Amino acid sequence: MIWIAANMKIRLALFVTLICSAASIVPSLAAGDRFALVIGNAKYPDAEAPLKEPINDARDVADELKRDGFNVDIGENLTGDAMRRAFDKLYGKIKPGSVALIFFSGFGVQSSRQSYMIPVDAQIWTEPDVRRDGFSLETVLGEINSRGAGVKIALIDASRRNPFERRFRSFSAGLAPVIAPNGTLVMYSAALSSVISDNGTDRSLFVRELLKEIRTPDLMAEETLNRTRVGVTRASRQEQVPWISSSLAEDFSFIPGGAGPRPAAPPPSPAPQVAAPAPAPEPPPLPPPPKQAEVVIPPPAPPAVPPKPAETPTVLALADDPTIKSLTAKLNDNPDDAAALYRRGQVYASKGAYELAIKDFNNSLRVNPKDVEAFNNRCWARTVIGDLQAALKDCNEALRLRPNFVDALDSRGLVNLKSGQTKNAIADFDAALKINPRLTSSLYGRGLAKKRNGSISEGDLDINNAKAMDPNIAKEFADYGVQ
């Protein structure tokens, strides 16, 4: 009996040990079925300054997801190659039926009705560049789905005003609705086709509300995100309303098992950071343009406000700019590289070196006499410095080569506005806004033209709507010599 009792004790101890061991294995199995890629991109060389929020937000989200049983990879300030490797690594981990989550904070751009996540080294000058250098959210979700993921979640905090969209005129602000496979939950930090400004703090309102709701026990994922949307909307006084799309076919909770609260998190440890590329110069905001019959302008009036001669950079300072230096090296090898001439002209214009920009556009057009973009950009640069007769010829030629070219319509509206041809300016801006109703430069320019034409209340309405979409638009026009 003593031996039997001892033996039973041994078996009982072994049984308890197995139970405890099994219990310790469960979280790791859950973690193995939950995969997350978290990206925070802040140091874009084309932006005026690094974004304050994405790095801290990415680290906070990564720490929370780890506590929720996710196997998390985090990347900071990722180049295009680094983002591609990160996505490929995520794809390789996914097993049939697993959960895959993407969090991206940085700049996003909408093109051809798709939303693109932008790496820090993207070279975006025209809309096709978005599709070349950006990462389509639809494509990423489709690839995750093809690997067998049962639940796909995308949390995208990228509805920010960015330095790229003003370089082409067919853009729509903000992000586009996503066509995602079944079993997908997508949330944007702001409404479709709208943008928000960073709130000046080191963490975003969207992520703050998201983490608060994720930490609430007994919530399914859809309810978590719906509560996040309500929290952001209330806290922003309805200025920021996140967008949600769901096709989840099964229940999913961020907290495994949806059980009670977890222990407090340890302080976040800094994640390894991928080196950001060397800063590149900020490219020029290119004003859009409206269409109408060719007009003859009387002798040009001097600009209302001279275009900041004191701020014009010296040739020596510009020569040290990394992007200009790179493009100049290309042109030293091939002086007839039309693409390099055009891009260096854009960079010169963005730095206020309009004469140098015009010289490059001249040479670009010498190589390619039908370059409609170069005609439009030379029109814009000439308009800013007050060479209105030559600017009008360039805009008219751009519109002859490409009728209804919205950029050239907007640029010609600026020509007419500066030359005092308010009715023609209104017609140009009207035509541009018919093509792109969210074109802030045309909306603001039309407002100024209407006020000068005597329609004060209508003009004020246009101006206020433009400022609501882009708070910097008045300063931009003042830099063009128009107030």
Q: What structural domains does the chain harbor?
A: 27-258 (3.40.50.1460), 309-479 (1.25.40.10)
Q: Are 146 and 104 in contact (CB under 8 A)?
A: no
Could you tell me how many residues make up the chain? 483
**C-beta separation of 403 from 292 below 8 A:** no
CA distance 98 to 149: 5
Q: For residue 369, which of 404, 408, 400 has the smallest C-alpha distance?
A: 400
For residue 315, the model assigns a pLDDT of 67
Q: What is the pLDDT of residue 310?
A: 36
Using alpha carbons only, give the angle 311, 313, 317 rounded to the nearest 5 degrees: 145
Q: Give the pLDDT score at 259.
A: 41
Q: What does each of the 483 residues of the chain score in pLDDT, given as a tens digit?
A: 333 344 444 443 444 343 343 333 333 334 459 999 999 999 998 887 899 999 999 999 999 999 999 999 999 999 999 999 999 999 999 999 999 999 999 999 988 788 999 999 998 887 788 889 999 999 999 999 999 999 999 999 998 888 776 666 455 678 888 888 899 999 999 988 788 876 668 889 999 999 999 988 888 999 999 999 999 999 988 889 999 999 988 889 998 764 444 444 444 444 444 444 444 444 444 444 444 444 444 444 444 444 443 344 566 667 777 778 878 888 999 999 888 888 788 778 877 888 999 999 999 999 999 888 889 989 989 999 999 999 999 999 999 998 888 888 999 999 999 999 999 999 999 998 888 776 788 899 999 999 999 999 999 999 998 887 677 788 888 888 888
pLDDT for residue 49: 85
Is the CB of residue 205 less than 8 Å from the CB of residue 199?
Answer: yes
3-class secondary structure for the chain? CHHHHHHHHHHHHHHHHHHHHHHHHHHHHHHHCEEEEEEECCCCCCCCCCCCCHHHHHHHHHHHHHHCCCEEEEEECCCHHHHHHHHHHHHHHCCCCCEEEEEEECCEEEECCEEEECCCCCCCCCHHHHHHHCEEHHHHHHHHHHCCCCEEEEEEECCECCCCHHHCCCCECCCCCCCCCCCEEEEECCCCCCCECCCCCCCCHHHHHHHHHHCCCCCCHHHHHHHHHHHHHHHCCCCCCCEEEECCCCCCCCCHHHCCCCCCCCCCCCCCCCCCCCCCCCCCCCCCCCCCCCCCCCCCCCCCCCCCHHHCCCHHHHHCCHHHHHHHHHHHHCCCCHHHHHHHHHHHHHCCCHHHHHHHHHHHHHHCCCCHHHHHHHHHHHHHHCCHHHHHHHHHHHHHHCCCCHHHHHHHHHHHHHHCCHHHHHHHHHHHHHHCCCCHHHHHHHHHHHHHCCCHHHHHHHHHHHHHHCCCHHHHHHHCCCC
pLDDT reported for residue 29: 34
Task: Say what the pLDDT of residue 78 is.
Answer: 97
Tokens found for residue 274: 């991928």
pLDDT at site 166:
63
pLDDT at 21: 39
